[in-house]
Amino acid sequence: MTDEYSDTSPAWIEHSTLTAPALLGAAAGLLLGDMMHPGARRGIGIGLGILGVSALLPFVVEGVTDLVTGPRSKVGVRRKIQRIRDAGIVAPEYNEVEETLREQGLI
């Protein structure tokens, strides 16, 4: 049994999904570029650049956290070992009848 996540979707689907918005943005930029005032183009370009970077930020954060706390890092291995150890610790069952009999001195 493997602990790794297995993705069944082909790699080309993921790549095309990630590149489609960039291609659509480039096409819109080429079509609308000459119609706009140069000052407006600069502002919109900077705004779209900031949006693009902020859209990539979750992927970067996920990659870094996977490197630091992933299953193959030191922290991930420690966490897995601790979970295995904790799985063996079972809370004692609480039986209300036995507790009452103990309080009364019958057991």
Phi-psi region of 100 (alpha: psi -120 to 50; beta: other; left: phi over 0): alpha
Q: Which of 55, 30, 60 is nearest to 45 (CA)?
A: 30
**Among 61, 27, 58, 32, residue whose Cα is nearest residue 44:** 32
pLDDT in tens, the chain (107 residues): 455 555 565 666 666 667 777 877 777 777 777 787 878 778 877 887 787 778 778 888 888 888 888 888 888 888 888 888 887 776 677 778 888 888 888 87
pLDDT for res 5: 57
Q: Distance (Å, rounded) from C-alpha 58 to C-alpha 51?
A: 12
Tell me, what amino acid is at 39? G
Position 4 scores a pLDDT of: 58
C-alpha R_g of the chain: 28
